[in-house]
Each structure stands twice: as structure tokens, then as C-alpha cells.
Amino acid sequence: MHIRHQDSVRLIRETLQENRLRMELVSFHIDESMGEEPSRILATLKCFPEEESVTLEGAGVGAFDAFFVAVKERFSSQYPSLKGIRFAGIKLRSIPDSDREHPTDAEAEVTLRFQSADKQDYYFVARSRSMLRANMECILRMVEFFANSEKATQTLQERLREAQKAEQRDVAQQLQSQIALLSAHHVRP
């Protein structure tokens, strides 16, 4: 993970604390034909801290694409930086020793590369006994990162206005640096 990305994650956690968006994949159903029709997915997420249940429906070239399309369609109006995100690469790795009795049930590690509107690369990693689930978990981590980056920037901007109003120049300067770090992640298309 890139140092700047690690710094951003740390700052997001410190800024939002328990108000960070966290997503949990509850279930998914796939309809995939071997013909030319698009694959369809119906997925249910639990979004925290609100504990809101979200249903996603999407269509695409395969289940992975259908899920990516569904997630972007559902969340990009709320988090505009997601509009400019595109899938840019995948790396799969089997971890064969994770289940010695049933090697075909071995854990898979998936690394997905996404590219922002300004061509910056972001990598997200997930492990699961299901390759598809690991892919979907990476997509959710990507959404969490960009959404929380936007939320943290808004929170810091509010703090900056308060610091400027109170004429706290040192605090304002520190907040401006933090805002600059996070703002780089949510370039609009």
C-alpha cells in the first residue's frame, strides 16, 4: 500500500472514528448464462454505522462486473468520486496450505487495482474461500475508502471554518494540510 494511502486511511479513521462507513456483504445471488446475455446479480449489504440494509441489483459481463456496476450505480450519487473510478487490474493468489484436508477449498487472496479519474492507482486486498466473494469484498473496501475520504474531508472543512472563525491559525494550517491529503482521493470525473 502506498504511504500516502496509509496516511489517508489513518487520518480518515482519526477524523470519522465510529462514523466511518463500513459495509458488510450479507448475501448475493447470481444469474449467469453461458450465452451473450449479461450476468445479473442481486446482493444485500449491511451498511454501518446506521445498520442500514441495502439491496443492489446490477448487470454486467460476468458476476464481478455486475456487482461493480451495481455498487457504483447505488453509491456514486451520494459519493461523487466513485463516478470516476474504473477497474484497472486483478491479481489472484491461491493459499494452498490454508486447508490441507481439502486443497480445493483453499483460501484465495485477491488484489484489485482501481484507477481514479486523475489516473491514480489504488489497491485493495481481500481473502476468502470464495474468489468471487474476495473480489466483492475488495470492491466494498474501495467504496468505503473513497466514501470515507469524502466524509472526512467534509468534517475537516467544517473544523477549518470553526478554526478560522476563532482565529486559530496553527489549527487552521494543520487542517488545510489534512484536507489537501484527502482531497487528492476524490477527484471528480
pLDDT exceeds cutoff 60 at 57: yes
Q: Phi/psi at 168 (nearest 5 deg)?
A: -95, 85
The predicted-structure confidence for 163-176, as pLDDT tens digits, reads as follows 999 999 899 889 88
The predicted-structure confidence for 60-116, as pLDDT tens digits, reads as follows 999 999 999 999 999 999 999 999 999 999 999 888 765 566 666 778 899 999 998
* CATH number listed for the domain at residues 3-183: 3.30.160.270
Q: What is the DSSP string of 6-59?
A: HHHHHHHHHHHGGGS-EEEEEEEEEE--SSSSPEEEEEEEEEETTTEEEEEEEE
pLDDT exceeds cutoff 90 at 186: no
pLDDT at residue 1, rounded to an integer: 44
pLDDT at residue 100, rounded to an integer: 63
pLDDT at residue 118, rounded to an integer: 84
Task: Give me the residue spans of the domains in the chain.
Answer: 3-183
